Every structure is written in structure tokens, then in C-alpha cells.
Chain A
Amino acid sequence: MVSTEDNSAPGAAGGAPSGDVTAETVRRLAALARLTIDDDAIEGYRRDLSSVLRHAACLAEADLEGVEPMARACAEVNRLADDEPGPTLDAETVARLAPAWEEGFIPVPKVLGDTPTDSGEGGS
């Protein structure tokens, strides 16, 4: 879902390929990625992201008509594992790795009633 005041939206007035993002976009991306960015750092990230996205605009100019996207680095298909039980982490190991452990469970703060920081898309 794209916010209307976000001027980096595709087709926005002023020509989309510039790639420039706003401070509001940085805040929204941070919320989607479950990060907090201090107010005094927003401008730096805004400038950095804008610079990289401006560079990426050369992709918009390339002739990619009819080219099949390539998501993986090799043509061979993934190998399937044998459908047989194998070793997994035991509870003791999981307990050792967990930052908190209570009576066989990893405790987390209350989930019910938690208000999401965005409209529900993305997140960790």
C-alpha cells in the first residue's frame, strides 16, 4: 500500500526515475522493517537511500523488454532432502541460545492487545 503523500511513489509528479525519497518514506520503511531511526539520523538515511536509488534509475533506462527475471544463480533445481528424520536441536540447546527461558518456554511480552506500528504489512 502506497501512501499518497509519498512523493517517491511510481508515477508521482515530477518524474519518477529520480528515486528521491522523503523523510516520511524513511520513517515508513523503518516501521515496516521493525527499526527505529532517531530523528537526527533520518536525514542521513534519506540522503543515502536517495543516492543509491538514483543510481538504480539506470535500470529503468535499460532495454529489458521480454527478458525473463533471474532470481537464482544456477539453472539446476534445488535438491530435495530425503524424507527421513534427522537430528534437530534439543531443548537444552534451544534454552542455551534463547535470551530468556522459563519452564521450557521462551517468554515474550504480551501479544494480545499489541498495536502494530503500521497497517499490518511487512514486519519481522
Chain B
Amino acid sequence: MREWSASETRSAVARGSVSAAEVTRSSLERIAASQPALNAFTEVFEDRAMARAEAIDARLASGEPIEAIGPLAGVPVAVKDNLCTAFGRTTCASRMLEAYRSPFSATAVERLEAAGAVIVGKTNLDEFAMGSSGEHSAFGPTRNPWDTSRVPGGSSSGSAAAVAAGLVPVALGSDTGGSIRQPAALTGTVGLKPTYGTVSRWGLVAFGSSLDQIGPIARTVEDAALVFDAVSGRDARDSTCLDRDPARTRAVLGLPLDGLRVAVPSQARDDAIDGGVRLVFGLTLRAFEDLGAELVDIELPSAEEMLAAYYTVAPAEASSNLARYDGVRYGRRADLPEGAPLSDLYTRSRSEGFGSEVKRRILLGTHVLRAGYADRYYLRALKMRRLIRSDYDAVFSVMGCDAVLTPTTAGPAFALGSKLGAGVDPMAMYHEDLFTVGANLAGLPAVSLPAGFVPVDGLSLPVGVQLTGPALGEAVLMRVARAFEGVSGAAGRVAPEAAPAV
């Protein structure tokens, strides 16, 4: 069961060769066994998950068809712990919210359950989704199942590790600047950041509201499409959610691709990219040619300009969004001496509740929005954002390309602690997002796919490539992804069972 995809799991439950309860128990056992080595979960819902699985079995036993239960009937799913659940805690891996119990579930969570999924637990992340390694968690770092001395990427670190290790077939993450795709690349999984507005953000704890988007992490393109289809579609509770029907990407995955044109920006061939990644990317280009694709060289704003725009806009939005944590209505409240003023309550609660990366981004965001500085930083970043979007638009509409192909990251998974700590420039970590921030700034869909493995220190580490498509182009994007998956030879692998960390 460890290697079963979501579709295979559902089929097995439908056939009756296994019960939803057996599938769920098996997933819960693997999670418990992995936790000391991987720390992928912040909370596991054993009793609730078993009860829900048994309820699905009872419905099947009473003769109800599996179609009535849903496209994810009996499939164990993990959810990133910045998505609100009306059960358990919603911590954002922060001391600020470590005891927070949401009164409601996110729309995406409700839709998973309405589709028959069994939510087994909440996954670890960089605090408030700010980070690219999973190390900025108040509950300790998540480890990469391919090599537990390395990071799984972030911020959806636990969701990616859980899927890569075969603890669950699929999980939800969120992506503000690469937080689904970068960990997917570093763990050999498929990660889709959908078009902005296709999945409701209601119940997703806000980080960068114009950038945030919920999406799936899976081991196959089909499973990612299945979950995306299930959670997408209009939602009156999120005013930025597009007024559209749920996506139907899975049903059309197998349609033929004729006249495929794949754009390759010059930065995808940059010398600064790790040699192993360059090698895998070269093979990927050849695979696309073998699929009949025409490769088109293009120019986009430089990766450095995209990164500069992102690390201005995202902290600006974060500093505004995180102003709500003031110790008054919910979340952490500092103990104050008698007679201390209200301003101390704000300052002490925030200073105790937030970790150092969150504080860094709040300070940065405060700076770029300050009177006298906003024109120089924030406004220019928004103008760069417009250029990025128009350049992508030209690639898709004027040049007629179907997707932009790059590596997802410039290197494979790195060692815990190597891009973190006193004296280490934060730009070292922020460079992890070189290839991923463009899709968020432009609001476009992008998917990271396992493309190969590179030998590092006697172990095999996954490498990912990224396809970015035009707005609302998920159906074609996932077809291209499925076609590449069929020839890459790197897809669908489960990481070896992790030995307990020493």
C-alpha cells in the first residue's frame, strides 16, 4: 500500500480488495513509524481518520456506489498545517498559534472530505510558510526521506516528505514563491501551483495574499490532477476566487499533444546551476524533442530581477497580513506585569510568538512599504511584476508556446543547516526560489516534475524540472506533464524506508 497512488487506492477500495479502514490504518502506522526520522507531521488524527474510513466502508457495504462517495474515496490525504481544520490544531508551525483551534475548515479541506478523502494529519512547514527548507519550524525541521541529513525543501516540507516516503499518496501544500514546487523537486514528487484564483484561499492562513495558492503534491501527474480537480472551483467566501466551475484536468490527461512548443529561457542554462541538475535538464530537453516538441529559446526578465521583485512584494504583504497577530483576539498572548500598557501586550506577544525568519520578513516588508521608501522598492517591484507577466504573456500568445521549461531549483536537496544560521546570508536560502517566484508574481500555473536522480555522497537525490503555463492553462499543462512523466523514468518512485535518525 505504501506505493499505491491515490487512483490505485480508490480502485482497490472500490473492488473490495481492501477496506478504507485498512488503507487508513496502514497509512497511520507508516506515519507513526516515520515520525522520529522525518518529523513530517505536526499532528495526526488517528481516531477521526479511522472513524471516517469506517464510515466510507459502511456506505460501500450498504451498496452505495463508489462514485457517490467521491473521486478520492478512501484515499488518505495529509494537509499542510497552514490550512485551517475545524478539528485538531492549526499551528502554522509557529509558537504564535501552537494552541490555536480553528472554528472552521478551509474550503479546500472541506472539498477533499466531500470527495471522500480521509485526512490523516497536518504536515510540518516553515513557520507561516516562510522558508525553502522546512527548517524554520517551531516544531523542528522535517527531513528528506531520500537522505535524512538533507532538507526536503519548503515551505510545504512535511507534505512533500510524506508523499515521497509513501506515508500518503497525496497531500495539500500552499505556494507563495515556490513552496509546493521546490520541495516537490527536492523529494522527487509532482507539485502543482495552480493559476491564482482557481483554488479558494478561504481558510488558508494568509502570507502573501496576491501570491498564495493551494495545490497538490503527489507521486503521479494523474493524482495531482485528481486532487486539483477536487479542490478547485468558485467559492463565495474568497472574493479573489475566480467564478469558474471546478477544473477537469484529469479526464483529458491522455489526449494527444500536437505541435507542442516548449519555451526555454536563457536562465535555464545558467552556469551557476549545479552540474547534476544541468545534466538532468539537458536530458529533459532531449526527452521533449523525442516527444515531438519544438524547443524555442526565449528571454524573460532575469531570475535575479524576479527574485528582487518577489522578496519585496512577498515581505510587504506578509508584514501587513501578520499585523493581525497582536495577542488580543486569538493566538499567543504574553504575560504582562500589572499596569503594563496595551502597546506592550502587542509587542511582547509578537516578539515571543514569531520566529526569526518571520521577524526578518516583517522588518523587510515594513521597510519597503515605509513612507519615503515605498516608491523605490515596493512600487518598482510591482512594475517589474507587470513586466514579468507581460513577458510570459508574449511567450504564450505571440510566440505560441504551450509551456516554459526550466529546472525547478538550481541544485538538489542540501544539508540541514547549510543555508541557515548566524552569519549566513539569507540570500543563500532565497536563491532556492530563483526559478519558482515568476509563476507566483505572474499568477500562472506551474508544475514541478521528477526528471532524474543525481549521485551525491553515495546516495541518489531527485532533481525536478518545472513547466509553467498560461493562466488557466492547467488542462494542457498537465497533459504536457503527463507526456513527460511517461518518458522521464523518474516518476512515481517512493523513497527508501528511512532509518531512524541518530
Q: A interface vs B, CB < 8 Å?
A: 1-2, 8-10, 16, 21, 25-26, 29-30, 32-37, 41, 44-45, 47-49, 51-53, 55-60, 62, 64, 67-74, 76, 78-82, 89, 93-94, 96-100, 106, 108-111, 113-117, 121-124
Contact = CB atoms under 8 A, between A and B. Distances in A.
B2 interface: no
B309 A59 contact: yes
Interface in B300-332: 301-302, 304-305, 307-309, 311-312, 319, 323-332
A36 B305 CA distance: 32
Interface stretch (B35-43, B144-152, B223-231, B359-367): B359-367
B281 interface: no
A26 B383 contact: no
A93 to B, nearest CB: 5
Contact of A73 (B196, B301, B360): B196
Contacts of B502: none
Interface in B234-268: 236, 239-243
A117 to B, nearest CB: 6
A46 B474 CA distance: 42
B210 A109 contact: no
Q: What's the interface size class on B, roughly?
A: 35 or more
Interface of A: prevailing SS: loop
A52 B373 contact: no
A109 B342 contact: yes
Nearest to A90: B103
B414 to A, nearest CB: 19
Interface stretch (B63-71, B134-142, B385-393, B402-410): B385-393
Contact of B385 (A35, A70, A78, A122): A70
B241 A79 contact: yes
Contacts of A81: 236, 239
27 contacts: A34-B347, A35-B350, A44-B423, A47-B425, A48-B426, A51-B426, A52-B364, A52-B426, A55-B430, A56-B368, A57-B308, A62-B305, A64-B380, A64-B383, A67-B387, A68-B383, A69-B379, A70-B386, A74-B197, A81-B236, A94-B329, A98-B329, A98-B330, A106-B329, A109-B336, A110-B339, A111-B342
B73 interface: no
B235 to A, nearest CB: 9
Nearest to B369: A122
A45 to B, nearest CB: 6
Contacts, number: 211
B272 interface: no
B422 interface: yes
B330 A53 contact: no
B311 A55 contact: yes
A110 to B, nearest CB: 6
Interface string B143-186: 00000000000000000000000000000000000000000000
A63 to B, nearest CB: 9
Given A10-B372, A82-B236, A109-B339, 8 more contacts: A33-B363, A34-B343, A34-B350, A35-B350, A56-B311, A59-B305, A110-B339, A124-B350
Given A10-B372, A49-B364, A58 B308 contact: yes
A16 to B, nearest CB: 7
B360 A122 contact: no
Interface string B89-122: 0000000000011010000000000000000000
B346 A124 contact: yes
Nearest to A48: B426
A115 B347 CA distance: 13
A29 to B, nearest CB: 5
A51 B362 contact: no
A16 B377 CA distance: 12
Contacts of B239: 78-81
A1 B371 contact: yes
B333 A26 contact: no
A115 B344 CA distance: 10
B458 interface: no
Contacts of A111: 341-342
Contacts of B398: none
Contacts of B441: 73
Contact of B343 (A26, A69, A76, A116): A116
A21 B425 contact: no
B327 A49 contact: no
Contacts of A114: 341-343
Across chains A and B, which 6 residue pairs bring their CB atoms closest together, nearest first?
A: A73-B443, A69-B382, A99-B333, A114-B341, A73-B196, A70-B386
B333 A53 contact: no
B197 A73 contact: yes
A8 B11 CA distance: 62
Contacts of A122: 366, 370
Contact of B367 (A25, A58, A99): A25
B410 to A, nearest CB: 16
A29 B210 contact: no
Given A51-B425, A58-B308, A68 B386 contact: yes
Nearest to A73: B443
B217 to A, nearest CB: 21
Contact of B382 (A10, A49, A71, A79): A71
A41 B46 CA distance: 41
Contacts of B389: 70
A59 B307 CA distance: 10
Nearest to B357: A48
A73 B236 contact: no
Contact of A16 (B324, B329, B356, B376): B376
Contact of B329 (A36, A48, A97): A97
